[in-house]
Structures are given as C-alpha cells and as structure tokens.
Amino acid sequence: MDAQTLVDERGELWLTLAPLWLEREPRETDYARMTEVILRYGLTLKELEWVMRLELAPVLSRQQMSVAGEWRKFDDYQLMKRLVGHNMRLKGWRRSFWTLFSGLTTMMVRPRINELVERVAVAQATQ
C-alpha cells in the first residue's frame, strides 16, 4: 500500500484519535468526535484496539514522552508523516515487535482508551 492510500484510508481516524495521547484530558467533545469517526469507519472494538496498539501508540507514545510543550508546535502534517512512515514499515518482525510491546506503549493512556471503547460499545449497541 502506498503512502497516499494509507492517508486516505486511515488519516482522519489517526488524527481524530491522537488527542488520547495529549497531556490534557480529552474533553467530552473530543470523545464524541472520536466515537462518531470510529462508527463511520465501521471498526469493531477489537480492530479499534489494534489500530491504537499497532498503528498509533508506537509513534504517539514517543511523542508523549518527549519534551513538554512539543505538542504545541507539532502540526498535523508532521504527525501524519510519522504515522505513515511507521505504518509503511509495519511488516514482519516490526509488527511482531510492536505487538509484543503494545501493552507498554498504551499503558499511560489505557484509562482514556477504556473510556473511548466503552462509549463506542454503547453507541454500537444503540445503532
């Protein structure tokens, strides 16, 4: 899959879920937007979990652990560039590596992920 196809298929989802890794707690509107986009993509809860563990967490956890304030000067273009680069290389041993360590890379945002998954589950049940 080429980079443009990856951006077209996942870009909106990635940018919508990225606030889970911000220093501040996501607002109600953030969770509502995330839930709306996830429902539009038609992801199951298991697929959502692996999108966060394999596609987002390896890139965003590094960003989260970097110098404070880095997010303020971090633009969507740079974020997308890093996410696409990571996901283009996510094959073979790299996929196995990130699968193994995905629990560590999502550990700091696990309460937020659980909150989002709960909201998505409720929304899916009412559809």
CA gap 65, 76 in Å, rounded: 18
* DSSP 8-state code for residue 54: I
Write out the residue range of the structural domain in which residue 69 sits: 3-126
Q: How many domains would you assign to the chain?
A: 1
Is the pLDDT at 73 greater than 60? The verdict is no
In three-state secondary structure terms, 52 is helix
For the chain, give the percent of residues with pLDDT over 70.
91
CA gap 7, 88 in Å, rounded: 11
* DSSP 8-state code for residue 27: P
Write down the pTM of the prediction.
Answer: 0.88
CA gap 34, 10 in Å, rounded: 13
For the chain, give the percent of residues with pLDDT over 90.
71
